[in-house]
Amino acid sequence: MAGSSDLPVNTLAAAPAQPGNPLHGVKLEAIVTALSDHYGWEELGQRINIRCFTSDPSVASSLKFLRKTPWAREKVESLYLFMLREVKRSSPPVHNFPPPKPKA
């Protein structure tokens, strides 16, 4: 094939870094697992009404559907980002104050 040698061998290595994208490097399986652990399948099915969450739900069936359905994947990714913000807000703030200096 003419010109096929111009393509990068590893397209992942050619992909630019995405420092502003919180989903960069997070696998869909990790997202679905985190959501099902946090909300449970029943609440997940109420928040996003798709059959892979409401009828005999599993990570495998969800991944199969979400990889083929961009609109559903966008909803799942959006809920995942919301969950991360919710968890961050509810956790107590961490202060990195320097230790007190001993009195001489």
Buried b (16+ CB within 10 A) or exposed e, 8-35: eeeeeeeeeeeeeeeeeeeebeebbeeb
CA 98 vs. chain centroid, Å, equals: 34
Say what the pTM is: 0.70
CATH topology of domain 26-87: 1.10.720
Domain boundaries, the chain: 26-87
Tens of pLDDT, residues 26-73 = 899 999 999 999 999 999 999 999 999 999 999 999 999 999 999 999
DSSP 20-75: T-TTTT--HHHHHHHHHHHHHHHHHHHHS--HHHHSS--HHHHHHHHHH-HHHHHH
